[in-house]
A and B are shown apart, each in its own frame.
Chain A
Amino acid sequence: MSTGSSLTPPPAVSARRGRLALGDRIFAASARGAGLLILLVLAGVFVFLLIQGAPGLSVDPKEYGQGFDSFWAYAGPLLFGTIFISLLALVVAVPFALAVALFISHYAPRRLATPVAYVIDLLAAVPSVVFGLWGGRALSQALKPVINWLGEYLNWIPLFKGPASPNGQTALTAGLVLGVMILPIITAISREVFAQTPRLNEEAAIGLGATRWEVLRLAVFPYAKSGVIAGIMLGLGRALGETMAVTMVYSSSPKYMLNIIGDTSPQTIAANIANNYAEASADKQHVLIAAGLVLFAFTFVVNFIARWAIGRGERKLAR
C-alpha cells in the first residue's frame, strides 16, 4: 500500500489506515513509556539509596560494631567478600556451564539434548531460599568429610588453610550452592550462541579435516566468545546480588581472608544487610543502606565492563 500517492484513497481504506495509525501510536507510546518507566525506577532506586544512605557515611563509629571505626573500614571487607564469594561461584559454574552447553549444542543426540536443556532451565526456577535450606542443612553435612580432608592434606593452600569447620557451613559450600544457582543462566545463553554458529563455518572446518574439538576451537569459540562473556557476566550479576542462599548457607563475618573451609568466611554485602536490617537502630539502617549503594554502584561498574568487553569482542569479529 503506497502512502506517497496523491490520489484520495477509497473511504474504507482511509478508515482502516486511521485505525492502524491509532493502534500504531498507542503501541509506540506504551513501548516508549515502558522504556522510560524502567529508567525512572532505576533512578528512583538510586536516589533512595543516596538519600537514605548518605547519613550512614558519618554516623557514630560505635554503630558499625565489631571494632570498625569508619564506613570504608566496614564496607571494604564486605565488598571483598561479595566479590570473593561470587568469583568462587564463577569458578564452580563456568566450566560446568560451558561443558553442559557444548554437550547440548554439539555432542548430545537431539533425543537427549532437549530433556537435558529443559532440566537445566528448570534449575533456574528453584527459589533461592530452597537452595539456602538445602545448602545449609544437607549439602554442608555431606561436605564435612571433604572439608576435613582439605584441611588436613591441602592446608598449605591459603584457600584451605583451616582449621576445618565442624559443621560444614563454609564459603566452599556457599560457592558450590551459588555455582549451581548461576549455572542455568550461563548455560542457557552459551547454548544459544553455540547453536548460532554459522553452519558453513563449521562445515568448512570439517572439510579441512578438523576434529570435533578443533571445530569447536576454530569455528565455534571465536564466534561465541562475546555471547559467552555476556552470559558469564549475567551469572556474576546474579551471584553478586544473591542474598538468601548465602545468608542461610555459611557462617560469615566482615573480614579479609582467603580461608574457605574455616569456622568463618568473608561476608557479602547482601547477606550483611539481610542479617542486620531487622534489628538495626535508625543510624545502623542508614549504614546498611549505604552499603547497599556500594553494591549497586559495583554491579553497575561490572555491567559496564561487561558491555565494553562484549562490544570490543564484536568489533574484533567484524574486522
Chain B
Amino acid sequence: MKTTLRRAIVPGAAALALAASLAACGDSNTNTAGDTAASDGSSTLSGKLAGGGSSAQGTAQQAWMAAFQQSNSGVSITYDPVGSGTGRTSFESGAYAFAGSDAFIANPSDEYTAAKKTCGADPIEVPSYISPIAVVFNLKGVDSLKLDAKTIANIFNGTIKKWNDPQIASQNDGVSLPDTAIHTVHRSDDSGTTQNFTEYLSKAGEGAWKDEASQTWPSTDGLSGNGTSGVITSIKGGDGTIGYADASQAGGLGVVSIKVGSSYNAPSPDGAASVVANSQLDASATDSQLIYDVNRTDTADGAYPLLLVSYLLACPTYADASTAAMVKGYLSYIVSQEGQQAGASAAGSAPLSSDTSDKAAAILDKIAGQ
C-alpha cells in the first residue's frame, strides 16, 4: 500500500517541481526584459488591466499589447477575443476595464444605459481598427472580377445563379466565365463582418438587397462557415463559391474589385481609411463618442467603402486612479499613428487617418481617476 502510494506521488511531485522551476525561469526572463525597458525611464504605470471583446481586433491587440508592455514594464494587459457581444456585456458589468466591439453601442438602448450606469457618465467609444472586407471567390480560370454593389447583392440574394450571367459578364469584358453554378458562402456565426457587409449591400445595392443590415446572415440558404477561417475553408473547398471575409485573409483566392463611382477598386487599407475619414458621425454621437455612420456610397478616388470599423469602449472615469491611467495610456497608444502602424503591419488593417487619430486621442485624453 505504502509503495503504491509513493509510486503515485513521486512522479507528480517531480512534475510539480519541474513546473515550478520552469515558471521561475519564465519569471526571471520577463523581469530582465522588464528591467531594461524600465531603465529607459519611459513609464510610471503599473498594474493589471483586463479587456476583451471583438475577435476581429484580436491580432492587432496582440501587437498593441506587446508594444505597450515593452515600454511600460509594470503593466500587464490581457485582451480576451471572446467576441464583441460578450465583450460589451463584460464591459457593461464592469468585469472589463475596456472592450473592443465591432458595433458601437447605440444610444438609446438597454446596453447604453447599462454602460452609462457602470461608468457613471456617457461611455467613451473611439474607432481603433479599420479593415477592408474583401468579396472573395473560387472559380477555375478566373483570378479577379469587377462587380458593382447591385450585382453582388443579386449574387448573394440568389437572383444570379450562374457565373456567366449577363449582369456579371457585362462588367467583365475579356474574362471567359464558365457556366458553373454560383454557391454563396456566409458566416454561420453572428459577426461584425456580416453586419458591415449587409450594410454595404443594403445602402449601396440600389434596392437589390431587401434585408436590413444585421450581424446574423438574413437568409437560411447557401453555404456557411464558422468564423473567417471557416468561410475561407468553405470557399477554397469547392469550385464556383463566393463569400466575404477580412481582406487580410483573402490570400490565394480571387478578389472582386467593387465599383466606386465610375471605376472599380480592389480592397485597400488606404481606400478604407479614407472612407471612414470622410464619413459623418452617427447622429446619436455624444461628445465622448467618435462613432461613424460609414458612407457606403463614397465615390471618391480610390475609396473602398466595403469595410469594418471596430471600436474601443472605455469609461471617462474610473474609481481607481491607476486603472484610469493605464486605460488612458494603452488606448491612446492604440489610436496613435505609431499604434495604428503596428496594428497594420501585424493584422493588415487600415491605419486611422491622422485627423481621426487626433480626434480619438482628444476624447481619450478626458479619461481620469475619480
Q: Which residues of A contact B (CB under 8 A)?
A: 65-67, 136-137, 140-141, 144, 163, 165-169, 247-248, 251-255, 263-264, 267, 271, 274-282, 284-285
Contact with B181, one of A163, A168, A274, A276 (Cβ below 8 angstroms) = A163
**Would you list which residues of chain B between 199 and 234 have a CB under 8 Å from chain A?**
214-226, 230, 233-234
B238 touches A280 (CB 8 A): no
Question: Quick check: B238 and A278 within 8 Å, CB to CB?
Answer: no
A66–B217 touching, CB < 8 Å: yes
Contact in complex: B237, A278 (CB < 8 Å): no
Closest chain A residue to B231 by CB distance? A251
Cβ contact within 8 Å between A167 and B217: no
* Chain A residues near B218 (CB-CB < 8 A): 65-67
Q: Which of A167, A279, A285 contacts B223 (CB 8 A)?
A: A167
CB-CB < 8 A to A282: which residues of B?
85, 89, 110-111
Quick one: given A163-B181, A166-B238, A167-B237, are A279 and B220 in contact (CB under 8 Å)? no
Check B86 for interface membership: any CB of A closer than 8 A: yes
- Taking a contact as CB atoms under 8 Å apart, the answer to whether B220 and A253 are in contact is yes
Cβ contacts B76-95/A at 8 Å (1 or 0 each): 00000011111011000000
Instruction: Report yes or no: A251 in contact with B237, Cβ–Cβ below 8 A.
Output: no
The number of inter-chain residue pairs (CB within 8 angstroms) is 118
Contact of A264 among B190, B191, B215, B222 (CB under 8 A): B222
- Indicate if the CB atoms of B225 and A66 lie closer than 8 Å: no
Interface centre among B216, B218, B225 (most CB of A within 10 A): B216
B43 to chain A minimum Cβ distance, whole angstroms, is 33
Tell me which residues across on chain A come within 8 A of B215, comparing CB atoms.
279
Chain B's closest residue to A271 (CB) is: B188
Interface size on B, residues (CB 8 A): 42
Supply 19 further A-B pairs (C-beta < 8 A) apart from A166-B183, A278-B84.
A65-B218, A137-B233, A140-B237, A166-B239, A167-B237, A169-B223, A247-B188, A253-B220, A255-B220, A263-B221, A264-B223, A275-B226, A276-B216, A277-B83, A277-B85, A278-B86, A278-B189, A279-B86, A279-B215
**Is B151's beta carbon under 8 Å from chain A?**
no
- Docked-complex contact B189 and A168, CB < 8 angstroms: no
Instruction: Specify which chain B residues have a CB less than 8 angstroms from the CB of A248 in the assembled complex.
Output: 226, 230
**Cα–Cα, bound, A163→B89 (Å):** 41
* Chain A positions within 8 Å of B233 at CB level: 136-137
Known contacts: A141-B237, A278-B55. The answer to whether A264 contacts B224 by CB under 8 A is yes
Point out the residue from B102, B188, B220 that lies within 8 Å of A275, measured CB to CB.
B188
Closest 7 CB pairs of A and B: A278-B83, A166-B238, A167-B238, A167-B237, A65-B216, A253-B220, A279-B190
B123 within 8 A of A: no
Query: With a CB–CB cut-off of 8 A, which chain B residues contact A276?
Result: 189-190, 216
Q: Is the interface of A mostly helix, strand, loop or mixed?
A: loop
Q: Pick the contact of A279: B111, B185, B191 (CB < 8 A).
A: B191
Say whether B85 contacts A285, CB under 8 Å.
yes
A165–B183 CB distance below 8 A: yes
State how many angstroms separate the Cβ of B246 from the closest Cβ of chain A. 14
8 pairs, A vs B, C-beta closer than 8 Å: A136-B233, A165-B183, A166-B223, A247-B188, A264-B220, A264-B222, A277-B86, A281-B111
Determine whether B316 belongs to the interface, using a CB cutoff of 8 Å to chain A. Answer: no
Please tell me if B241 contacts chain A, counting CB pairs below 8 Å: yes
A276 to B221, CA, bound (A): 17
Q: Say yes or no for B132: interface residue by CB 8 A criterion.
A: no
Within 8 A of A (CB), among B34-88: 55, 82-86, 88
Q: B226 to A247, Cβ gap below 8 A?
A: yes
- Per the bound structure, the CA–CA distance linking A268 and B242 in Å amounts to 25
| Residues A280 and B85 in contact in the complex (CB < 8 Å), given A167-B237, A167-B241, A275-B190 | yes
Asked whether, in the complex, the Cβ of A65 is within 8 Å of the Cβ of B214, the reply is yes
Which A residues lie within 8 Å of B84 (CB)?
278-279
With both beta carbons as reference points, the residue of chain A lying nearest to B215 in the complex is identified as A279
Given A278-B189, A281-B85, are A168 and B238 also a contact pair (CB < 8 Å)? yes
- Chain B 159-179 per-residue mask, 1 if CB under 8 angstroms from chain A, else 0: 000000000000000000000
A197 to B188, CA, bound (A): 48
B85 near A284 (CB under 8 angstroms)? yes
Kindly state whether residue B192 has any CB partner on chain A within 8 Å: yes
Interfacial chain B residues near A144, Cβ < 8 Å: 238
Tell me if B271 is interfacial: C-beta within 8 Å of chain A. no
Take A166-B183, A166-B240 as given contacts and tell me if A275 and B189 are in contact as well, using a CB distance cutoff of 8 Å: yes
Residues in B with CB closer than 8 Å to A274 are 226
Report whether B221 and A279 are in contact in the complex, using a CB–CB cutoff of 8 Å.
Answer: no
Contacts of A140 in B (CB 8 A): 237
Q: Chain B residue with minimal CB distance to A140?
A: B237
B5 to chain A, nearest CB (A): 17
Bound Cα distance from A282 to B224, whole angstroms: 24
Contacts of B238 in A (CB 8 A): 144, 165-168
Return the chain A residue nearest B84 by Cβ.
A279
Q: Indicate if the CB atoms of B190 and A251 lie closer than 8 Å.
A: no
In contact, A252 and B224 (Cβ under 8 angstroms) = yes
CA distance A169 to B218 in the complex (A): 21
> Which residues of B are found within 8 Å of A67, using beta-carbon distances?
218
Partner of B89, one of A166, A271, A275, A285: A285
Known: A65-B216, A165-B183. A279 touches B85 (CB 8 A): yes
Point out the residues of chain A lying under 8 angstroms from B222, CB to CB. 251, 263-264
Q: Contacts of A275 on B, CB cut-off 8 Å?
A: 188-190, 226
Complex CA gap A267/B83 in Å reads: 21
Q: Which residue of A lies closest to B82 (CB)?
A: A278
Q: Which of B110, B181, B222, B238 has the most CB of A within 10 A?
A: B238
Once the chains bind, are B85 and A253 in contact (CB under 8 Å)?
no
Question: From residue A148, how far is it (CB to closest CB) to chain B in Å?
Answer: 11
Q: Nearest Cβ in chain A — how far from B268, in angstroms? A: 26
Nearest B residue (CB) for A67: B218
Cross-chain contact B226 with A167 (CB below 8 angstroms): no
Q: A66-B216, A275-B226 are in contact. Are A251 and B188 (CB under 8 A)?
A: yes
A284 and B190 contacting across the interface, CB-CB below 8 Å:
yes
**Complex Cα distance A239/B241, Å?**
30
Q: Is the CB of B241 within 8 A of A279?
A: no
Contact with A along B126-149 (1 / 0, CB 8 A): 000000000000000000000000
Tell me the bound Cα distance from A66 to B191 in angstroms. Answer: 14
When A263-B221, A278-B86, A284-B190 are in contact, do A169 and B226 touch as well, CB less than 8 Å? no
- Of the candidates A144, A166, A267, the one having the most CB atoms from chain B within 10 angstroms of its own CB is A166
